[in-house]
Amino acid sequence: MTRYRHLITDENRKWWTLGAMCFALFMIMLDNTVVNVALPSIQRDLGATISGLEWTINGYTLSFAVLLATGGRLGDIFGRRRMFLTGVVIFALSSATAGLAQGPTDLVLSRVVQGVGAALMMPGTLSIITDAFPAHERGKAMGTWAGVSALALAVGPVLGGFLTEHVSWRAIFYLNIPVAIGAVTATVFAVRESRDTSVGRQVDYLGVATLTGALTALVLALVEGNSWGWGSPAIAALLVGAVLGAAAFVAVELRVAAPMVEFRFFNDRNFLGAVVVALIITFAMMGVFFFLALYMQDILRYSPLEAGVRFLPSTLMIVGVAPVAGRLADRFGPRWLIVAGLSILTASLWTFTHIAVDSTYLDLLPGFMLLGIGIALTMSPMTSAAMNAVSVQKAGIASGVLSMFRMVGGSLGVAVTGAIFQASVGGATFETAAPQQFVEGLSNAMWVSASVTVLGALIAAAAINARPKSVGVGVAEAEASPGGEELAGVAT
């Protein structure tokens, strides 16, 4: 394979790198949603309990969210390409074991390991792209990255429904194997190794342990809060454990020579604003996707495949608008694009507050289209704002922190909107609520999500720079390079 590397010039290498990372990203994000529609078939085939089915989803979500920051830091220390490839191999092998599972326990364990592989891969996709593209072109690259990420989330239900109905639920896992082979081939062929040369290769094990413990407690509480009861001793203990673990993590990081997370990142308004926006937009996204999928199947009586297809207007808007938003962020800066995106997303959520039992798909269509436009206008400028706020050397941990906030935001969105729904319908569940109860609970949940996105727009307007972070050489990059102080003066 190395004999063909001369065919890739320095100019087009970055585009090959972007293609390789997006190829792998599609696989990672697909597994967030592709399994959901296969759960009834898995239950029949493996004799799984409801708890087992929940952990088929939650096992992946938990290990993925908890290890993202660790995966980003390990890439900075040992090499981003190396850690990315390690994650791809782990993901592919665990996908194979998931497809071969003979019982619920086998499947859940495979899904947990899949999450570990995804956590090693996900920060690598973003940090490798950041290293490959100069600051003034990153918005364009991030737009493609964000579009692929959202596309995979939306395509998941459609693809999962098709494979489950016409092949087997096992095919949704086997599909990852050829995709992983393609990702490895493209990465070895095109991607250069990079790492953070400003630090040694020592691992902050105590920081990893305290952060993992705190995030495990937090995400588990968010995932199980509605089913265990938010006032239950178990959830209370988990939330207290999360707070204590976070405090211990901060205490450790302020004392070690090579901290896992550098808190000075949060002194930059762009980075701080971007990670808060990341939490808010995924809060809104995952909540609305969760409820609308249930509404279309339980109230409008669509099949899983039919419901998945009806998300496509949002998908098409994201795919078309996200790259354009990235280019506009390069030229005009991310602030007002993010504000506009969150405002449009708020308008979409407002339309969903008016859903009725007798609503038709045509009634939903304007909201779906606004949803896609709002997500696209927010995601890529938000990502480029965060990644341009740090030096390229710190791209791994920065991307890990950003991805961690996104995953926690998604879990928080489903948990909070689910709690609002249950409070609205009394003792009923998603399955037992009467149609009128269901739409009233959905409306209340969408009002909460809309309020959160309004808050996000205000935060973005106040915190994120109106102009591009830099032109050509970023301040943070300049300071990290030889003769950096002089370059930083020019950049500012």
pLDDT of residue 68: 83
Q: What is the pLDDT of residue 491?
A: 30
User: Could you give the CA distance from residue 401 to residue 39 in angstroms, rounded to a whole number?
Assistant: 31
- In this structure, are residues 98 and 59 in contact, taking their beta carbons and an 8 Å threshold? no
Average pLDDT over residues 453-464: 93
Q: Is residue 325's pLDDT more than 50? A: yes
Q: pTM of the entire structure?
A: 0.77
Whole-angstrom distance, CA of residue 395 vs CA of residue 484: 17
Query: Which of 484, 390, 480 has the alpha carbon at shortest distance from 199?
Result: 480
Residue 40 has pLDDT above 90, yes or no: no
Residue 458 has pLDDT above 90, yes or no: yes
What are the structural domain ranges in the chain? Answer: 6-192+258-491, 203-257
CB 329 within 8 A of CB 450: no
The candidate with the shortest Cα–Cα distance to 340, out of 330, 328, 351, is: 328
> Which of 124-138, 262-276, 442-456 is predicted most confidently?
442-456
Residues 366, 303: Cα–Cα separation, whole Å: 22
Using CA atoms, how far apart are residues 443 and 424, in angstroms rounded to an integer? 10
Q: Which residue has the higher pLDDT, 38 or 344?
A: 344
In which band, very low, low, confident or very high, does the pLDDT at 471 lie, cut at 50, 70 and 90? very low
C-alpha to C-alpha distance for 15 and 132, rounded to whole angstroms: 9
Give the pLDDT score at 485.
33
Per-residue confidence (pLDDT) for residue 67, from 0 to 100: 85
The per-residue pLDDT for range 55-95, each reduced to its tens digit, is 787 788 778 888 888 888 888 888 888 999 999 999 999 99
DSSP code of residue 474:
-
Q: Which tokens go with 60?
A: 């992946």
Residue 427 predicted with pLDDT over 70: no
Q: Are 446 and 349 in contact (CB under 8 A)?
A: yes
| Euclidean distance between CA atoms 277 and 3, whole angstroms | 44
Degrees (nearest 5) of the Cα angle 290, 66, 70?
140
* 136 pLDDT above the threshold of 80: no
Mean pLDDT of 27-40: 76
267 burial via Cβ count (<10 Å: 0-12, 13-18, 19+): exposed
Question: In angstroms, how far is CA 135 from the centroid of its own chain?
Answer: 22
**How far, in Å, CA of 27 to CA of 34, rounded?**
10
pLDDT at 460 exceeding the cut of 50: yes
Q: Rounded to whole angstroms, how far apart are CA atoms 170 and 179?
A: 15
Q: How confident is the model at residue 468 (pLDDT cuts 50, 70, 90)?
A: low
Which amino acid is present at 440? Answer: E
Taking alpha carbons only, the member of 259, 492, 484, 267 closest to residue 389 is: 267
State yes or no: pLDDT of 480 exceeds 80: no
- Give the pLDDT score at 110: 94
- Indicate whether 470 pLDDT > 70: no
Fold category of 6-192+258-491 in CATH: Growth Hormone; Chain: A; (1.20.1250)
Q: What count of Cα atoms within 13 Å lies in the side-chain half-sphere of residue 81?
A: 16
Least trusted range by pLDDT, from 93-97, 230-234, 384-388: 384-388
**Tokens standing for residue 424:** 């609205």
Q: Average pLDDT for residues 401-417, to the nearest whole number?
A: 82
Tell me, what's the pLDDT at 476? 42
193 and 79 in contact (C-beta within 8 Å)?
Answer: yes
| Separation CA 39–CA 44 (nearest Å) | 9
Burial (Cβ within 10 Å: 0-12, 13-18, ≥19) of residue 454:
middle
Q: What is the structure's pLDDT at 423? A: 79
Task: Report the C-alpha gap between 108 and 449 in whole angstroms.
Answer: 31
Q: Rounded mean pLDDT of the chain?
A: 81
The distance from CA 359 to its chain's CA centroid, rounded to whole angstroms, is 31
Q: Is the pLDDT of residue 51 over 70?
A: no
Instruction: Give residue 428's pLDDT band: very low, low, confident or very high (50, 70, 90).
Output: low
Question: Between 39 and 473, whose confidence is greater?
Answer: 39
Query: pLDDT tens-digit profile of 266-309?
Result: 888 888 999 999 999 988 887 887 788 778 877 888 876 787 78
Range from 160-174, 334-348, 436-450 carrying the lowest mean pLDDT: 160-174
Element (H, E) at 39: helix 39-46
Question: What pLDDT is stored for residue 486 in this prediction?
Answer: 30
Query: At 20, is the pLDDT very low, low, confident or very high (cuts 50, 70, 90)?
Result: confident
Residue 492: the pLDDT is 25
At residue 333, the 3 state secondary structure works out as coil
Please report which confidence band the pLDDT of residue 218 belongs to, taking 50, 70 and 90 as the band edges.
confident
Q: What is the pLDDT confidence band of residue 400, given thresholds at 50, 70 and 90?
A: confident
Question: pLDDT tier at 429 (50, 70, 90 boundaries)?
Answer: low
Percent of the chain with pLDDT over 90: 21
Quickly state the pLDDT bin for 255 (edges 50, 70, 90). Answer: confident
Which of the two residues, 38 and 368, has the higher pLDDT score?
368
Name, in order, each residue with C-beta under 8 angstroms of 244's C-beta and a sequence gap of 6 or more: 214
pLDDT at 447: 94
pLDDT at 75: 85
Name the residue among 291, 294, 209 with its Cα closest to residue 253: 209
Give Cα separations from 179 to 90, 95, 319 (angstroms).
13, 11, 20
